Amino acid sequence: MSDEGHPQGAGQDQELSQLQSSILMAFNLGVSYNQQSGGIQSITEVAGELGHTIYTNLAQVYGNRLQDDFLRANTEYFLQIALLGYIIPSVCAYEEDFKNRLLSLIELRALKTQQQMAGQGGPVGGSIITP
């Protein structure tokens, strides 16, 4: 297979873009739940609903291609991000720079985790999936 027309690192750039998009979608899902409920729904209720929504979406995209434990681990990761999106609007004023910096820090942490797993020869499918 030829790499002609595909600059080195193009696959990594696409993977990063997908990761950024997935993180943003999870965060915005939480923000949307906050707006729909007026931020008065309990975190326990929201966590259950968001977790179910995220797991269902991942299962639809990946179906039987990935083990259930892996889907659940990724659900937990994206649920944490979605809960940030739910909680933050209730506890602080909105600021675009803060949101962008927070998402950037989340992305850096995700990349660091993936690099550590790759360096340790982690199990296949041991990274964050991006639908």
Provide the pLDDT for residue 88: 95
Positive or negative: CA dihedral 97, 88, 14, 124:
positive
Q: At what angle do helices 96-119 and 68-91 cross, to 10 degrees?
A: 160
Q: From CA 111, how far away is CA 105, in angstroms rounded?
A: 10
pTM of the model: 0.81
Residue ranges in the chain modelled with pLDDT below 70: 1-12, 121-131
DSSP 57-87: HHHHHHGGGS-HHHHHHHHHHHHHHHHHHHH
Provide the pLDDT for residue 12: 67
Provide the pLDDT for residue 47: 97
